[in-house]
Amino acid sequence: MRKDALAKLDAAHAAIADAFVAMPDEALAWLKPGDDYAIGGVAIHLIQSLDGYIATLAALDAAGYRDTEGPGEDERVVDAQLARARRGVSAAERAATFGELETKHERLTALARRPSDAQFDALLGVTYPGDDAPYPTSVALVVQWMTEHYAEHVPHVQTLHSQWKMAADARR
């Protein structure tokens, strides 16, 4: 199960990375009216998600894959990431941003490979700051959640890219 789950995670990551490859730099800073993120901001959003999932897997690892306290979020950091995602990615930031996405994907994958097969699938209680009850979590679920998160943004990014092209053509 772990091998298949990690293969799906890698495939979903490759699909989102591929969705950005052909985009010109100027598209990455385009913010569709009414949206929360510029096109390149989707990558920032995914990095933020990876950060949270990496912290969760690190907490599970540190607890020996038993019930544990989950990571908290610093609201100032979250607000700064949201502002950055709204602004998008400049040409000068492109390589670093997508390099960070790759590095954090690799970190998540490495953490997901650490537990035994039984630990990978074990449903554990993770209590996040501010929660009254533990949230049922497993390494397998974290991998699934990130896989789904990558996958949902592939058509989103492709649609935004098409809309950017139409808006750019209309300005000409």
CATH number, domain at 153?
1.20.120.450
> What is the mean pLDDT for each group of 10 consecutive residues in the chain (172 residues)?
96 97 94 93 96 97 96 89 94 97 98 97 94 93 98 96 88 70
| pLDDT attached to residue 65 | 97
Q: How many domains in the chain?
A: 1
Give the range of the structural domain holding residue 64, as residue numbers without chain letter: 2-171
Distance (Å, rounded) from C-alpha 148 to C-alpha 105?
14
- Name, in order, each residue with C-beta under 8 angstroms of 27's C-beta and a sequence gap of 6 or more: 39, 40, 161, 164, 165, 168
Between helix 41-62 and helix 91-113 the angle, nearest 10°, is 30
| pLDDT attached to residue 109 | 98
| pLDDT attached to residue 71 | 92
What residues pair up with 86 in beta bridges, in sequence order?
none
Structure-token pair, residue 75: 């609201």
Is the whole model's pTM more than 0.85, yes or no? yes
Q: Which residue has the tokens 């400049």?
A: 90
| pLDDT attached to residue 51 | 96
